[in-house]
Each structure stands twice: as C-alpha cells, then as structure tokens.
A and B are shown apart, each in its own frame.
Chain A
C-alpha cells in the first residue's frame, strides 16, 4: 500500500531552526509537495520537489532524496506565526496526491 510518514507533533523555540521529516512509499513518484495549514484554515502551498536536492524559498527549504523515499522541510528563524501543521504529499503514478497526516509544529517564545 501507499504510505506517507511524518512526526505527529514537534516543538521548537522562536528564532531557532526546525526540520520536519517525511518518508514515503508510493506507487510511482511524480513530485513531492509541502503545505502549511493553520488551525481552522485551508492548506496553502509551500514547496515542490521533483529532483533530488535542496529547494530554498526564503526562510523555508525543502530537500528530496528519491532513492531513500525521504524529504524534509527546514524552517529557519522561526516566528510565532509558523505555528501550524505541515503536510507532506506525494504525487503518485496516477498523478494523484497521497497525503501524510501532518506534523503539528508548536513554537514557544
């Protein structure tokens, strides 16, 4: 079966760096997405990886290793507004997204 694993919850301190991991086993691979979802709101797109390596967008970076079925989202200079859930999703051979359950990130002052 298809499976996306990410930690359920993480805690970090304002101003620090946090890395959220995602491992996947899917039928085919056509890209990996990270989304941010604040409580009570819709998911919003953060990043997309289809080739191995690091993609950087401001304070957020996302890494992909297709051979290991592994990705991480790196958040730098954490701000209180970064408190949210972070969703990892893989697009499979049918071009459908398979979603992880999300990682709830708690930022403490």
Chain B
C-alpha cells in the first residue's frame, strides 16, 4: 500500500452500537489525525496523535476515543453511536513541521447512524 487507507468505505450503523473506524499509513509519519466533515462546515478535528503512544483531544472529541499503539495505525472508536455522529470521517497524517507538516488524507469513511 502507499499512503493512507481507511476502512470501511461506508457504514450504516444503528444508534447505540459500538463502531471502530480503521486508519493505516505506510509513510512512517509521526503525526496522525481524525477529522469529521459535515456539509457547510469546515473539517473539524476530533483527536490527534503527535507520535506513537500519545494522543490528544481536538475540537469535537466527545463520544469518540482513539489509541496509537504503533506508528502506522490510528483507530477511531465510537463507543455508543448517536445520529449526530453521521458524517464523513477522514484520517490524515503528517511528517513534521513547516511544509513537511502538510497533512495527507485517507479516502474517508462515510458513516450513517440511524
């Protein structure tokens, strides 16, 4: 693989169910991010990780959790999904600061919570 992959591509989920969105990168980037994108709004940061073993909260972290056990993987878990979590979720990664801090995005997961 080259770049960032996300799974699943799309998912319809019943409210109250638990769901993990997967994200894997092969660029050996230190930093990884999870965003949600809703119509009419900018990308909003959910959680981030500056390096393996560390995570931080973004702008909209409630209802979501993440882990970063290694450099490549950064899963996002919805413990008990609610309809307001219906969105497109993008995972991204970056190498460092300056222009090398450019974030590169996975293809996204379209999630519908009913």
Contact = CB atoms under 8 A, between A and B. Distances in A.
B34 to A, nearest CB: 12
6 contacts: A31-B99, A45-B104, A48-B99, A89-B42, A100-B42, A101-B40
Interface stretch (B62-70, B73-81, B105-113): B105-113
Contacts of A42: 90, 105-108
Contacts of B90: 42-43
Interface residues of B, number: 20
Contact of A31 (B42, B48, B98): B98
A96 B97 CA distance: 10
A33 B103 CA distance: 9
Contacts of A41: 107-108
Main secondary structure of the interface of B (DSSP, over half): loop
Which bucket holds chain A's interface residue count?
20 to 34
Q: Ordered nearest first, which 6 A-B pairs have the shortest CB separation?
A: A99-B42, A42-B105, A99-B43, A48-B99, A101-B42, A45-B102
Contacts of A96: 45, 48, 58
Contacts of B58: 96
B44 interface: yes
B47 to A, nearest CB: 11
A44 interface: yes
Interface in A36-55: 41-45, 48, 50
B2 interface: no
Nearest to B4: A42
A4 B98 contact: no
Given A30-B97, A42-B90, A50-B98, A97 B45 contact: yes
Given A41-B108, A44-B105, A50-B98, 5 more contacts: A43-B43, A45-B103, A95-B101, A101-B41, A102-B42
Contacts of B97: 30, 95
